[in-house]
Amino acid sequence: MVIARFYIKNGVQGVGYRPFILEQIFNFNLNGAPKNLLDGRVEVVVEGEREDIEDFYEYLKAKMPPAARNPGLSEAEFGGVHVADRRDAALALNLNQWNTAIPVVISINKNVMGLGEKMDGLGKAMHEGFERMGTEMHEGFERMDKNFERMNETLEALPERIARAFKDMK
């Protein structure tokens, strides 16, 4: 099994490219998913047999969704970390919801842990980073809640303070 990544550009967002690519990922018996990027490109990461990936890549060079206009494919780069199961990744991308994406992130984290044992602790460091990030996010939300409480208290006291200020002006 190998992993490949490539990018498609030139009017490939909003024309049905991701569903088209997902269908082809299934048809070529690969794992992976396409992802829209902020710069207008679509990133494709797939895992499978090299020959299947090469066939998939050549197919995408020749075929496209009907609404696509002159897409350009970058060269496929081989190598990288195991990608999440294609059904989970596709579901998370299509629903575009955090509660759906979290299992994919957990799956990737578990795969990184297994790979990391072979790569001198890289997976462990990434796992600890995920845990630290989760803790910091939780603490950040707690601080935000406290700030909102203080702001709410200040706003509730504001009419009384304004009335007192007008009274003191007389």
Q: Catalytic site residues?
A: 18, 36
**Among candidate residues 14, 6, 10, the one with its CA nearest the CA of residue 32:** 6
Amino acid type, 149? E
- Write the CB contacts of 15 (distance below 8 Å, at least 6 apart in sequence): 65, 67, 68, 69
Distance, in Å, from the CA atom of 86 to the CA atom of 66, rounded to the nearest integer, reads 24
**Among candidate residues 65, 17, 114, the one with its CA nearest the CA of residue 122:** 114
